[in-house]
Structure 1
């Protein structure tokens, strides 16, 4: 048991913060003690779970390897959204129509694919509560309604590891039925949610590579691309725009959320090459299609 006390002062330029996130920062949920305590709790649970096996069908060494790989995958997602790590180059600024596109080059890191890496990110506002959105994204039965990468697939959960006391914070391995391109691959997924926000990150990994990790092999050599969704609550309950409607607005959907979608993919295998316009078009299409499917499924326009 620990008692942590501190006083924190955070200074920021409000003119540089998007209006959607100003209420979140003012409420202290972005840089305040509430967010830091949630982070400390997540790290505490992660370290605690690393010491003991949760799934009796997987050896402790294999479970540790999967947990480390999931943590690395989520770190990649966060750096791809924020651009605070690595030398990302902005190639397309975010607009109302298009996502933000960034690229970087990996030359020697064995945990990533070597070559040019592209990150596509877009944030949308939805008149739906954070936890309602998280349950929608994390539901195996409704996944095909938003996931454009596994559009016609049925998800079968093979393994699940708890990350702590919250039953919705887990590391899972899925097999996608109905998609021949994924016949020899599995989906690693990492989910985490608390009152400060929710996140769902996933990556496609070869079945043989995953089997080696489950058997206790080193997971740091498994290269992957992370994709995912982050949800931040809108602390300003009066932000509903006149042109935004939601069929279930009268049934507990009075609050809104900021939803950030991110895809990361291989740009080119050669580090010294540039992105093709075809790949830029593909990245824009993935984001646009995902946004359309989410709004259609939730009937929010």
Structure 2
């Protein structure tokens, strides 16, 4: 970074670095640090035109000529280069905006012209042949527009640091006609009683985890390119204030943080917070808005530098929290940090956070993420919501506000870190929270610091196991996989879990249909075209429902995890017994592992089941997927598993929010509530299946496919309840 600051006002020649004042005599300082004369500045400017980067010899010569210290010469050139760079950026910014406006106007003109091309009576081209807007001229104008767009994209790409993908051509939304009595309206579920006349269900392009923000990456880049220096300055101030607040939240105990009598968790005293951080409340008081604030700390098996790197990269952040972060992207890097490191890095981001159920919508945030090294081996990362002006295309329709939240990461011996986490948000529930999840949401457990930290500890253990080269794997068919084979299997399973979590995401950008007939919750059905690498090509149907059982989460998890009990719920294996033929440990808890299962007495001897199970204090999941034996062998041999197609199904298990002290899933896998004499709460279980309806992306979905998956879920739920001795009528 080329910055030299200090001194008084004026041109770059008037500034000197205040940190280099090495004399204690203030009078001497005043004499030494004078303004440059007009002649000195003229000579420096003349030299700058010839050589903006003078070497040491040239700087010494100028020093002798002008009677200035060599470091004064050095800092003058640094400041002049910085000033010139800022002028170029402003100039390019103006050019970019001008080009943008020009393209926008020409686009409008062409759209208006296209309206005139279509005959209103027949919908075809106009009858007269001498129309100005004939096909050839439209093609020429379109080519000109593409050239203009290429030019704008190349300018914008300089500031974003990567190429900008062009806008896709404007196309009408194609809705497939389906022989199915259901529809979707703006992402809101619709309950349907039964078969009827044919209605429409959207076929969603791309992944089922598509963002709630249409074409976010392109729009974000266009907006990012138009940020002014004033915007960036405001963001920097905002981030600095947020960091100050976070550090006080991390370091202050009572009366700011008080321990809950119910479960011993640390919760924020809103009164004490208001006194410590007075701010004018610009939001209208709304009974639908509630605040959640929590703090937790723990030890993590990863060093501070590695953690900071994963937090500051949105893709790595998603990999670190696949069960919580359903979408993350960096819109603009405001500052890349000092000396190539992360300290001082500031970026504007977009993120969606989820609970693994179709019944709870994702929480969506535009936020600034700021990283600062506090001291050697100690880092703080703060997130704070960034509010776009209401007339901006990014002004959110949702109301999720993130007050200063984040982590303090402190290195410990042996590569461990102590992590202290603060979560503080204000949420507007535009639609009432589903009754099954009300306790979990309003207790702050669903999105609180405890869940983030428990997930971080579990995932860091998983990454540690990924790096271990010693053999912690039971063999498959007598072949013990190499360390590379183990890593390949772990990456394959990681992608399977991420895919499963994505299919459950209840993003506001998603459209789904809810079928009635199974409890009062129904089954949420989503259909999308799958054309991504590593996914089966064609039309994929995802179906999910959530049920409540009066059984502790650990008991439910143990039931799903026990391969001996699998025939009791796995309707796809036709009640056949299964045997674990390979096992990879993913952490200290025996429930965190990857398994390869073989089903007996089936006609498909070549088909195996890849399964990963995860468990921590916030909940658990069991995800599985049928995989051909040759594909498993590819992964076991250490080859790249990214092309192996996966279509996972599985279960998530979370406490219902009514857990007594020590209840729920413990880190050691056992509930300690028996020592209190109180009965732990029940479990919320989400059951999800994905099936490939057709290998043709243009295929139409028929009622039979939906009935099949609906019956699949209904039968599975019935068998789970029967196996766990729960009433099957609810």
TM-score, normalised on structure 2?
0.38
**CA shift digits 1:179-217 (9 cap, x unpaired):** 123x10111000011121010000000001111111111
Shift of 1:272: 2.0
Would you say the 8 A contact 1:152–1:178 is kept in 2?
no
Q: Following the alignment from structure 2 to structure 1, what is the Cα–Cα distance between the partners of residues 634 and 680?
A: 47
Q: Following the alignment from structure 2 to structure 1, what is the Cα–Cα distance between the partners of residues 542 and 678?
A: 34
**CA shift digits 1:232-279 (9 cap, x unpaired):** 1112269xxxxxxxxxxxx99752110000000112211122211110
The residue aligned with 1:128 is 551
Shift of 1:93: 5.2
Would you say the 8 A contact 2:591–2:613 is kept in 1?
yes
| Equivalent residue for 1:264, pick from 684, 687, 690 | 690
Would you say the 8 A contact 2:655–2:682 is kept in 1?
yes
Q: CA distance change for structure 1 residues 217 and 269 in 2, over 3 Å: closer, same or farther?
A: same
Do residues 7 (structure 1) and 422 (structure 2) align? yes
Q: CA distance change for structure 1 residues 166 and 76 in 2, over 3 Å: closer, same or farther?
A: same
Do residues 22 (structure 1) and 446 (structure 2) align? no
Match runs of 1:24-103 below 5 Å: 24-53=440-469, 54-55=472-473, 57-84=480-507, 88-92=510-514, 96=520, 98-103=522-527
Judge which range, 51-60 or 269-278, deviates more: 51-60
The residue aligned with 1:242 is none
Q: Following the alignment from structure 2 to structure 1, what is the Cα–Cα distance between the partners of residues 453 and 445?
A: 11
Would you say the 8 A contact 2:500–2:649 is kept in 1?
yes
Q: Secondary structure at the match of 1:78?
A: helix
**CA shift digits 1:31-73 (9 cap, x unpaired):** 1111110121122112211112322721111111110111111
Q: Secondary structure at the match of 1:179?
A: coil
Higher Cα Rg: structure 1 or 2?
A: 2
Judge which range, 264-273 or 95-104, deviates more: 95-104
The residue aligned with 1:247 is none
Q: CA distance change for structure 1 residues 110 and 147 in 2, over 3 Å: closer, same or farther?
A: same
Q: Secondary structure at the match of 1:9?
A: strand
The residue aligned with 1:246 is none
Shift of 1:296: 1.1
Do residues 156 (structure 1) and 585 (structure 2) align? no
Q: CA distance change for structure 1 residues 253 and 103 in 2, over 3 Å: closer, same or farther?
A: farther
TM-score, normalised on structure 1?
0.89
Would you say the 8 A contact 1:91–1:103 is kept in 2?
no
Judge which range, 271-280 or 12-21, deviates more: 12-21
Shift of 1:9: 1.1
Do residues 286 (structure 1) and 286 (structure 2) align? no
Would you say the 8 A contact 2:591–2:615 is kept in 1?
yes
Q: Following the alignment from structure 1 to structure 2, what is the Cα–Cα distance between the partners of residues 89 and 25?
A: 23
Would you say the 8 A contact 1:153–1:176 is kept in 2?
yes
Would you say the 8 A contact 1:203–1:227 is kept in 2?
yes
| Equivalent residue for 2:593, pick from 155, 170, 182 | 170
Would you say the 8 A contact 1:88–1:103 is kept in 2?
no
Q: Secondary structure at the match of 1:7?
A: strand
Match runs of 1:221-240 below 5 Å: 221-236=643-658
The residue aligned with 1:300 is 726
Q: CA distance change for structure 1 residues 273 and 286 in 2, over 3 Å: closer, same or farther?
A: same
Q: Secondary structure at the match of 2:438?
A: helix
Q: Following the alignment from structure 1 to structure 2, what is the Cα–Cα distance between the partners of residues 83 and 219?
A: 28
Point out the structure with the larger helix share.
2
Would you say the 8 A contact 1:146–1:293 is kept in 2?
yes
Q: CA distance change for structure 1 residues 97 and 42 in 2, over 3 Å: closer, same or farther?
A: closer
Q: Following the alignment from structure 1 to structure 2, what is the Cα–Cα distance between the partners of residues 277 and 91?
A: 13
Root mean square deviation, CA, Å? 2.2
List runs of 5+ in structure 1 lacking aligned partners.
239-250
Q: Following the alignment from structure 2 to structure 1, what is the Cα–Cα distance between the partners of residues 708 and 507?
A: 24
Match runs of 1:140-151 below 5 Å: 140-151=563-574
Structure 1 runs of 4+ off > 6 angstroms?
Answer: none
Aligned length: 287
Q: Secondary structure at the match of 1:205?
A: strand
Q: Secondary structure at the match of 1:11?
A: strand
